[in-house]
Structures are given as structure tokens and as C-alpha cells.
Chain A
Amino acid sequence: MTHDHHTHDHDHPHDHHHDNELDPFAARVKALETILTEKGLIDPAAIDAIVETYEHKVGPRNGARVVAKAWVDQEFAERLARDATAAIASLGYTGRQGEHMQAVFNTPDTHNLIVCTLCSCYPWTVLGVPPVWYKAPPYRSQAVINPRGVLAEFGLKLPEDTRIRVWDSTAELRYMVVPMRPVETDGLSEDELARLVTRDSMIGTGLPLRPGSLGPGALWPPEADPGAGI
């Protein structure tokens, strides 16, 4: 498929790179921001601060720290299972779209998968803002009816007798998956373990990395301040 970067091409409404191609829409957003600023309804510096927060501070590194701690600290894992909101807050991660958290734990028998079929509900405090595919119709429509087909698209093939539990986020509870700790990680520190935890492994569309598979791009975002988070 070819891409015309200067038109909003409605012939290909579900094209994956759709979000790149909206110059007319960029003007529309700019116009709205201008009106609201002129009317004193928004503070452009506040917009900058919101963007800075979700581009550089709040993202999947937060969730990775939660998972790694649960892997090494049984008492924390139990608190995370019992009251995820409080356990996650104890690491400093609180707020918008993480007010009511539940952690769901993968086991050898059951694999968990998170979706919001009705909109784009997602645990922002631990994973940041959702990826495009999470908010788009293909994932939202198929995750509840054909989860194995969805997982295959992510390169994840589970044994047929592995139970799949799909959590449709229809209310204000926000879910994160705690994947199983990879084998051959006994000697790793909590920080090293956190580097194995991918965003997708906390949505359920992936598994953690194996030791030795860390390469460029494994971390999110690559330049993130490891101490950042609100």
C-alpha cells in the first residue's frame, strides 16, 4: 500500500500508519488550541507539561518495575494481588487511569490478556498512553472472540490447552498482567529483571524477554530516566 502523506485518505481508514498522515487534522487541532488559549480556557504550558509527562515520565518502565519487584519479593507480590492500587502506589505510581488497579498473574495454566472493546481504557500509571493498535478496531474486535489469532500476530503461540482469560475493561478497573518470570534468571537483580519486562508482556500480547535477548529497542523509551515516574 502506498502512502500519501498529505491527504487524509479515507479509502484506507484502518491503515496502520494512519496517524502519520493527517496534515489537515493537524491544522484542526492547532485551531482548537488557538481558540482555547485565546479564551483563557487552556494554558499552553500546561499542555506541554501533560505531553512531557506521558512522553518521558509515565510509561511501561513503571509497570516493569512493579513486575520485577513482584518477581523478587513475595510479600510485595501478595500485596499486589490483594490491593494493586496501593501496592503500585507504594512505588510512586499513582493517578489518572490508574485509580483502581488490579494485577492479574499469568500461571502455567492460564494466560491473561487485557482489552477495552468499548473505547481505549488502559492502565496509564504503569504503562503510559496506549499504543495505536490497542485503540484500533482490529484488536478491540478480535481480542475477545479470537485471542489466539491475535496473539499469533504478536508471534505468541500458546499450547492449545493453555487457558486464555481476556479481561474486557468495561468499567473503571484498570488491569495489568504480571507475566511469569522467565527461566534462567536466578542470578539477576531486580533492575536487570525489570529490563526483561516488555510493555506487551503486561498487556498479555507478549512474554518477557529472555536473558541475553536484550538489544537496542528492548527498553522503553530507550533514553528514559530510570528514576522517572509520578
Chain B
Amino acid sequence: MNGPHDLGGQMGFGPVAPEIDEPVFHADWERRALGVTLASGALGAWTIDESRHARESLHPATYYAASYYEIWIRALEVLLERHGFVSADEIETGHKVWPGVTPKRVLHQADVEGVLARGGPCNREVEAAPKFAAGDRVRTLNEHPTGHTRLPRYARGKSGVIEAVREGFVFPDTNAHGKGEAPQHVYTVCFDGRELWGQGGDPALTVSIDAWESYLERA
């Protein structure tokens, strides 16, 4: 979707303003937000793609006004309601008022280290041979799906070169919507700065994206 999250090349947000000696967390609620988000993900009810889509589906005014942990929590509330774990009433009152669905699993303290150290690999076997090879010229599709996609707007309809052929990976555009993992090969595609940004672009700039095969056509 052409949502608020798709920020590459936008202007007007002001300086980056890096913070000297930035702490890992700026407030205790951020600690809890990180932990609650990861522990809720471990319930196994949704994928990382669905959670990304929940975040980018926040209203743009909300998205741009929120810190990133706030975006996480607002999206988490949506996911927990969607999957029947909590109700709007409960979020309103801050307490349990109904049992809700039973999760596949709950993350307990003893399992945290192992779960975090294992992570959640997203590479998958793909039977078909890769359609493209390193060095091939390709063009990204200029499409504007209303659902989740990982092809950023600034890199749509652009001509580039395959730099690396990656493994097969879960396809976010289907997986985010419960339509299956449908894995595809992923490619690292390089674009000249001027292909992306026109004659005002930095002549010594190359930008790469990682693109699923169906985002690309032969140029």
C-alpha cells in the first residue's frame, strides 16, 4: 500500500538530529513496549509481515505523530483484537473481561534466551530456478497494490542491475494477508542515483533494494 511508512525520498521531516550517547531506552514504558510486542508475537498468531502491515496501516496522521514504539503498540492492539485475544472493552478498561481465544503457545521466561537466539528464519526452498542472474538488467514493476508490499515507491518502474541472487524467501505480499508463504527468489538490485532521482541526483550514488522476483521484469 502507498502508506505513510514508505518514506524513501520524502522531504520536510527536518534534521536527523542524532543523539549523543543515546540510551537504549528513553523511558521505562519503551522497555515494556519492546517486551510486550515480542512476547505477543511469540503467541504465533500472526507473522512479521502481518505485523508490519498493521503498523503501516495506521492513519498517516497517527503514524507521523508517533514514536516507533508507539507505532508498535498501536499496531499490536489491532493485531490482538483481530486475532481474538483481547477486546476493545478490555483495552478501554485495562483489565480482562472475557477469556478470548487460546494461543498456540505462550513465551515463558525460561524460553526467552533460546527463542531470541533462534530467531525466525524466512528463507524457504524454491523449486524453480532463479529467473535472473547477476548482471542482468531489470525493471521494477510500476504497480500500486492496496495490500502489503515491500517494493518502495521510489524504486517502482525503475531500471537497475541484479547484483546478487539470494535464496528463496517468504513473499510478504501474500503472507501478510494470510494467503500463504508463496516463497520466491530475492535479488539485490542496484539503481544509479540519477535513475531514481533524475539529473539532480548524486552522480556517485548507488542505491540497492532487495526485491522479490515478481517485482521484476527483464529490461
Contacts and interface: CB of A to CB of B under 8 A. Distances in A.
B67 A51 contact: no
Given A131-B22, A144-B196, A32 B13 contact: no
A119 B150 CA distance: 10
Contacts of B161: none
A165 interface: yes
A61 to B, nearest CB: 12
A36 B86 contact: yes
B106 interface: yes
A133 B19 contact: yes
A163 B109 contact: no
B145 interface: no
A226 to B, nearest CB: 17
A53 B112 contact: yes
Contacts of A10: 65
B129 interface: no
B94 A29 contact: no
Interface residues of A, number: 91
Contact of B6 (A29, A35, A118, A143): A118
A170 B8 CA distance: 11
B34 interface: yes
Contact of A144 (B22, B80, B100, B207): B207
Contacts of B107: 42-43, 46
Contacts of A205: 18
A90 interface: no
A119 to B, nearest CB: 6
Interface residues of B, number: 98
Contact of A46 (B6, B80, B108, B209): B108
Given A31-B91, A47-B39, A131-B19, A170 B151 contact: yes
A95 B18 contact: no
Interface string A17-46: 111101001101111111110111111011
A91 interface: no
Nearest to A49: B112
Nearest to B85: A41
B211 interface: yes
Given A141-B9, A145-B196, 6 more contacts: A19-B69, A41-B43, A96-B117, A118-B6, A138-B15, A166-B205
21 contacts: A19-B27, A25-B73, A41-B40, A43-B106, A50-B116, A54-B34, A95-B118, A97-B119, A131-B19, A139-B16, A140-B8, A143-B8, A145-B9, A146-B202, A154-B16, A163-B205, A165-B207, A171-B186, A171-B210, A172-B210, A205-B18
Interface of A: 10, 13-14, 16-20, 22, 25-26, 28-36, 38-43, 45-51, 53-55, 58-59, 94-100, 117-120, 125, 128-129, 131-133, 135-148, 150, 153-154, 160-173, 200, 205, 217, 221, 230
